[in-house]
Chain A
Amino acid sequence: MVAPARKPYTHDEKFDALLRMNTELLSELWIMRDRMMVLEHLLEKRAGLSRQEIDDFEPPPELENELLAARDALVRRVVGAPWNDHWTVDSILRNKGR
Chain B
Amino acid sequence: MMLDEQRIDQSKNASPTLAGGARIQLRQRGRAGMQFLGALQHYTGGELRSIARDEFEADPDGKDIIARKDDPASGNWQERIAERRVVAERYPSYQMERLYQRYVAEEIYIRGIPAIEQRRAQAEAFMALPPGPRLGSLELDPNLELPDYYKGVEWHLMPGGWDGYDIMSPMMASGTAPLVFKRGGWAAVEVGDDNFQQRLDVANQFRTRFKNIYEPGSGGSHTLCMMHRVRPDAELHGSDLSTYLLTAGHIAAERLRVPVHLKQRDARNTREPGDHYEAVITYALQHEMTVQCGIDTFKEMYRIMKPGGEIVVCDVPPFHAVSPFQSVILDWDTENRDEPYFSATREMEWADVMREIGFTGVEAYSIGKQGYPYIQRALKPHRP
Contacts and interface: CB of A to CB of B under 8 A. Distances in A.
Interface in B333-376: 335-336, 338
A26 to B, nearest CB: 8
A26 B43 CA distance: 14
B114 to A, nearest CB: 13
Interface size class on chain A is: 10 to 19
Interface residues of B, number: 28
B103 A30 contact: no
Interface string A1-16: 1110110011100001
Interface in A2-45: 2-3, 5-6, 9-11, 16, 19-20, 23, 26-27, 30-31, 34-35, 38
Contacts of A31: 28-29, 32-33, 36
Nearest to B99: A9
A9 B32 contact: no
Nearest to A12: B95
A3 B37 CA distance: 21
Contacts of A9: 95-96, 98-99, 102
A5 to B, nearest CB: 6
Given A2-B157, A5-B336, A6-B335, A34 B28 contact: yes
Contacts of A19: 96, 99
A27 B33 contact: yes
A2 B103 contact: no
B59 interface: no
B95 A10 contact: yes
Given A6-B335, A10-B95, A23 B29 contact: no
B268 to A, nearest CB: 28
A81 to B, nearest CB: 23
Contacts, number: 53
Interface string A37-74: 01000000000000000000000000000000000000
Contacts of A6: 335-336
B92 interface: yes
Contact of A5 (B28, B96, B102, B159): B102
Contacts of B95: 9-11
B28 A35 contact: yes
B103 A38 contact: no
Nearest to B157: A2
A11 B89 contact: yes
B100 A35 contact: no
B35 interface: yes
A19 B48 CA distance: 15
B328 interface: no
18 contacts: A1-B159, A2-B158, A5-B102, A9-B99, A16-B99, A19-B96, A19-B99, A20-B99, A23-B40, A27-B36, A27-B37, A30-B32, A30-B36, A30-B39, A31-B28, A31-B29, A34-B31, A35-B32
Interface of B: 28-29, 31-33, 35-37, 39-40, 89, 92, 95-96, 98-100, 102-103, 106, 109, 154, 157-159, 335-336, 338
